[in-house]
Structure 1
Amino acid sequence: MTETPAKEPGTGSGDLASEFDLSDPKFITDPEAGKRWLGGPRPVCRGKFADGSDVWVVTGHHDVRTVLGEPTLRSRPPGDSHRQSMLSRGIPEDIVDMFDSTLLTMDGADHMRVRRLVTRALSARRMLALTPAVERVAERLLDGLADKAEPDLIADYAHPLAIIVICELLGVDEEYREQWREWSETLAQALRPNPEQFAPAVRGMARVTRELIAARRAEPRDDLISELVQVHEEDSDRLSDDELTALAMVLVQAGHETVRNLVALGVFTLLRHPDQLELLKNDPSLGSRAVAELVRHTAPVKHTFRRFATEPVDIGGVKVQPGEAIQVVLAAANRDPEVFEEPGRLDITREHNPHLGFGRGAHYCLGASLALIEGEVALTALFGRFPDLALAVDPSEIDPPYLMSMQRLPVRLSPEV
């Protein structure tokens, strides 16, 4: 990564660094973009967000930690600009308010209130108790793989595992799960939504979520929606109906997309590092450490939502002014040579691994523990069942561009005869 010409901190956009122009469609599909983000020095640089607005791009581990832990930085931009940004990207006006009432866009007291209520329901004990259920889902899906000549590990394993587990956790009825997976894929394109697809997906998911909430209010079950409804009914700091609906939608979306990417990228990366795969196959107890290293190395979540300064703040020697936006790149922070020894090397025995793959601070991913459980179960079960699994095509055919999710992962379950 090359440093842009020096500017006075906080004095406007100037010449924007093209390698950080998220508004350029070529950036999304450029396989070299990731290399520019992951390598070289890590100054705070100027760039553009997907809507064309200016951002400070932060890639160093120390600076990313500073941004994620800085209380004067907010998730929502000042004034009405966030609402206008969503409208400009094609999000219909009638659903903007609900779409804007999630933990991802809350700050301060509101964020603390909702996060505290959700944390009650998403306890570590509940997540750990899901392990046998995740194992059963994985084994059932692996049974289905055995009948396929060249299964696609995304369509046939990573995708269904992620959506089944999160839907079982929430209590989404089986009849809706395939539809929910399709909606989730559409919502994953929120940076550049297709209005013809995006609006029906959000409206459909919101409608079904409200129906699910009403059903659990009338007849509670042992699922997360029922527990959230109970929190909604009993706590003096109760969730609003919009907050409850948006929260359920975000949990499905985030839980599905992150785990899907972690499993797919994890399998692909291990197959390209046979020495590390052999270590894992010979010692499954390395599973949790291997998944943590894969989160660091593959970055299933590349970057966070933007943060906005409410007062002047120094980030990496740059004075960010009130109202200016900051984009942190988790993937680059997790390859910082000042923190990680040989950062470009996959090492599933790595002991010192302070990765930021799930963020940190107030907005640390609520579902991180579940994602790690799913990743470990998925990988150890897959290679335990099919130890000779191999890619069915050349890696160059499926190596994903940096900001795009991997779309296919064809494999052979046994060696070619």
Structure 2
Amino acid sequence: MTETSAPEPSTGPGAQTTEFDLSDPAFITDPAAGERWLSGPRPVCPGKFADGSPIWVATGYQDVRKVLSEPTLRSRPPGDSHRESMLSRGIPEDIVDMFDSTLLTMDGEDHMRVRRLVTRALSARRMQTLTPAINRVAHRLLDDLAAKPEPDLIADYAHPLAIIVICELLGVDEGYREQWREWSETLAAALRPNPEQFAPAVRGMARVTRELIEARQAEPRDDLISELVQIHEQDSERLTDDELVALAMVLVQAGHETVRNLIALGVFTLLQHPDQLKQLKDDPSIAARAVVELVRHTAPVKHTFRRFATEPVEIGGVTVQPGEAIQVVLAAANRDPEEFDRPEALDLTREHNPHLGFGRGAHYCLGASLALIEGEVALNALFERFPDLELAADPAEIAPRYLLSMQRLPVRLSPAPTTCPVTG
């Protein structure tokens, strides 16, 4: 790809091409592409979605905020379905309908009906009660970590912590968790899935979810699936069979992938900013604010799903016409100098931090409170246990690409020994 700034749009989102082209594999993997969007001009401009269809792209803070809050912008495209786009990206036809009935693709009353069912279960107050359990999981994983000379902090800590916590919250039996973790990794590639891996993962997760639902129908427990099953049994119109399965799958995927990325990116970023890391180690009480800043700075979720206009709407001087799509780049909005002082700097004690890392409006992330608590516990536990933790690889080799999660994070738990010259 060539390095060009985003062009000004003309008559429609397909009128010009831009670097923000999710249909171009090079954009996904090019480490410089994301940096140009994070630091470059922020007009609303045209781009392409993963299926090659034209979209508008919003990157400025105020534009992104308006898109996320605008009621005339909907999750569902004209025709009220994502089927064609999903099929074009290789999602098999027999599972498209299930994918098309999740919270992420619902609007209006249907969205609020399903969302209300889990809002109370995932409230900030209830999430706080989970802190001791999360802490126990973290320390158990750190015990195992200590036995490895150069562990991979993603495979051995961030990943299992995230999947264990969300599975315990939902009530997924321990025997399924490793398999669920593998399925979750496959689902994370939904932007450009491999049909041979993707379809079996979705079918497997759906099958186990249905088995889990049947088990909780027979024997309820103190978990989120049991709560949802009871609601479903009392009034099936409040939550259909497919919606219950899709909801459980979304909660596992979103609750796992975002937290995994937050912990991994957080540790990687802190190790690149030793002054900020020292502040956290010297005063663990700043961890809650530090995690919020890491969400802003590292962007565990880079962008949202598309929104489709139901009537003409003006965003950043551009009129998005009915049927046209617009996508927001959260990572860029959270680096907007019009909103944030020194946006490129990592400042764990930043006071003005109205970041959009978890979205905004009707589709604000349901698991935001849980993600922040997990991040806080994970970082404090890690650096308290291993204060001399350091990278065991060249940062440039393991740095994340713009839209690809970090794949590995090899670390040493104590500094590498230095070789002293031998004198005669």
TM range (shorter): over 0.9
1:107 maps onto 2:107 in alignment: yes
Structure 1 equivalent of residue 420 of structure 2:
none
Structure 2 equivalent of residue 246 of structure 1:
246
Q: CA RMSD in A?
A: 1.1
Contact 2:145–2:151 (Cα < 8 Å) also in 1: yes
Structure 2 equivalent of residue 282 of structure 1:
282
Q: Which amino acid aligns with 2:154?
A: I
Structure 1 equivalent of residue 17 of structure 2:
16
- Greater shift, 290-299 or 390-399, is seen at 390-399
* Other structure's SS at 1:32 match: helix
User: Alpha-carbon deviation of 1:79?
Assistant: 1.0
1:123-172 Cα deviation digits (max 9, x unpaired): 33321111111000000000001110000000000000000000000010
* Other structure's SS at 1:20 match: coil
Structure 1 equivalent of residue 219 of structure 2:
219
Measure, in 2, the Cα distance between the counterparts of 1:266 and 1:58: 25
Measure, in 1, the Cα distance between the counterparts of 2:40 and 2:74: 29
Measure, in 2, the Cα distance between the counterparts of 1:318 and 1:84: 27
Q: Pick closer, same or farther for the CA change 1:254–1:6 going to 2, 3 Å.
A: closer
Contact 1:293–1:348 (Cα < 8 Å) also in 2: yes
1:44-71 Cα deviation digits (max 9, x unpaired): 0100000000000000000001000000
1:2 maps onto 2:5 in alignment: yes
TM-score (norm 2): 0.96
Measure, in 2, the Cα distance between the counterparts of 1:52 and 1:3: 17
User: Alpha-carbon deviation of 1:12?
Assistant: 5.0
Structure 2 equivalent of residue 361 of structure 1:
361
Measure, in 2, the Cα distance between the counterparts of 1:116 and 1:80: 22
* Other structure's SS at 1:121 match: coil
1:259-284 Cα deviation digits (max 9, x unpaired): 00000000000000000000000000
Q: Which amino acid aligns with 1:7?
A: S
* Other structure's SS at 1:319 match: strand
Match runs of 1:16-35 below 5 Å: 16-17=17-18, 19-35=19-35
Identity of paired residues, percent? 82
Measure, in 1, the Cα distance between the counterparts of 2:182 and 2:92: 19
Q: Pick closer, same or farther for the CA change 1:227–1:299 going to 2, 3 Å.
A: same
Q: Which amino acid aligns with 1:168?
A: E
Measure, in 2, the Cα distance between the counterparts of 1:76 and 1:177: 32
1:48 maps onto 2:69 in alignment: no
Contact 1:37–1:332 (Cα < 8 Å) also in 2: yes
| Unpaired runs of at least 5, structure 1 | none
Match runs of 1:358-397 below 5 Å: 358-397=358-397
Contact 1:121–1:228 (Cα < 8 Å) also in 2: no
Measure, in 1, the Cα distance between the counterparts of 2:121 and 2:383: 33
Contact 1:113–1:237 (Cα < 8 Å) also in 2: no
1:318 maps onto 2:318 in alignment: yes
Deviating beyond 3 angstroms after TM superposition, the runs of 4 or more aligned structure 1 residues are none
1:293-315 Cα deviation digits (max 9, x unpaired): 00000000000000000000000
* Other structure's SS at 2:319 match: strand
1:70-122 Cα deviation digits (max 9, x unpaired): 00110011116621111111111111111111100000110111111121332
1:229-273 Cα deviation digits (max 9, x unpaired): 112223575200100000000000001100000000000000000
1:372-398 Cα deviation digits (max 9, x unpaired): 000000000000000000001111110
* Other structure's SS at 2:337 match: coil
TM-score (norm 1): 0.97
Measure, in 1, the Cα distance between the counterparts of 2:185 and 2:26: 21
User: Alpha-carbon deviation of 1:5?
Assistant: 4.2
Measure, in 2, the Cα distance between the counterparts of 1:236 and 1:122: 21
Q: Which amino acid aligns with 1:16?
A: T
Q: Which amino acid aligns with 2:370?
A: L
